[in-house]
Amino acid sequence: MSDPLLTYRGVVYPWHCDHMGHMNVMWYVGKFDEATWQFIAALGLTGAAMREAGTGMVAVDQHVSYSRELRAGDLVSVTSVLHEVKDRSIRFSHEMQNDVTAEVAATAMLIGVHIDTGSRRACPLPPSVRERALRLITSA
């Protein structure tokens, strides 16, 4: 397992909140999605690199757990950890925290698969990405 990497920092806006006054689940997932793009870019899978290679990443499994409510004006951050790297996939997690209270608001565990965007089939991660990912895991 790697050390946590800061992958998102933001605020809960009033339009993120539902009729009960707390951030709706769709926004938790949205903020985790933004963190995912930062996380995979840190591994070398930037949008530009994947477009150039004709590849992409797809989420095939995602589990979210909600621990604490977030309300309009709350400052939040997400840290991400790489747990496993395989030939064609990675397993990683996100932890969303209220930056003022330091309470964990939600966590997510995800599996992402590297695909060929033409064939829409899984393909091996680039060697440089696998090497960087494996270094992250072993240096933790």
Q: Tokens standing for 14?
A: 């009033």
Look at residue 95 in the predicted model and tell me its pLDDT: 98
User: What pLDDT does 25 receive?
Assistant: 95
Hey, CA dihedral for 22, 91, 33, 132, is it positive or negative? Answer: positive
Of the candidates 3, 11, 15, the residue with the CA atom closest to the CA atom of residue 34: 11
Per-residue pLDDT, 2: 75
Any idea what the CATH number is for the domain that residue 32 is in? 3.10.129.10
pLDDT at 140 over 80: no
Spatial separation of the C-alpha atoms in residues 40 and 38, rounded to whole Å: 6
Q: Summarize the confidence of residues 43-47 as an average pLDDT.
A: 95
Residues 97-108 have a mean pLDDT of 98
What is the CB neighbour count within 10 angstroms for residue 3? 11
Name the residue range of residue 93's domain. 5-139
Number of domains in the chain: 1
